[in-house]
Amino acid sequence: EVQLVESGGGLVQPGGSLRLSCAASGFTFSSYNMHWVRQAPGKGLQWVSYISSSSRTIYYSDSVKGRFTISRDNAKNSLYLQMNSLRAEDTAVYYCADGGYWGQGTLVTVSS
């Protein structure tokens, strides 16, 4: 069974940092491109970042470019999102996904 399990969310002050993790199982993680997608409370889905299977290609949405860093460790079947300089508007549930399978999400709240 394919599983994507996010962790690392929580309450952080504006300007702070968090590192999200996504543990993958049930499929050959190293063969799949991955995304981070977020959903602000009561809002729709917003793509955040993409990383290719080999980590050679990485993209970010304009709203997080320069503040967030996506990475992966194929040996550990894990995807990461380092989030720095967090803002109130980054408050959302963050999902890892390969486009087909989605995790349950982890909530990030940026507030003083």
Task: Give the span between the Cα atoms of 40 and 21, in whole angstroms.
Answer: 19
- Told to check if 59 binds another protein by CB under 8 A, we report yes
Question: Of these, 46, 69, 78, 84, which contacts another protein (CB under 8 A)?
Answer: 46
- Told to check if 26 binds another protein by CB under 8 A, we report no
- Told to check if 101 binds another protein by CB under 8 A, we report yes
Q: What are the helix and strand counts (H, E) for the chain?
A: 0, 10
Least distance between another protein and beta carbon 85 (Å): 22
Find tokens 């970042």 and name the residue.
49
* Positions that interact with another protein (CB under 8 A): 35, 37, 44-47, 50, 59, 61, 95, 97, 99-105
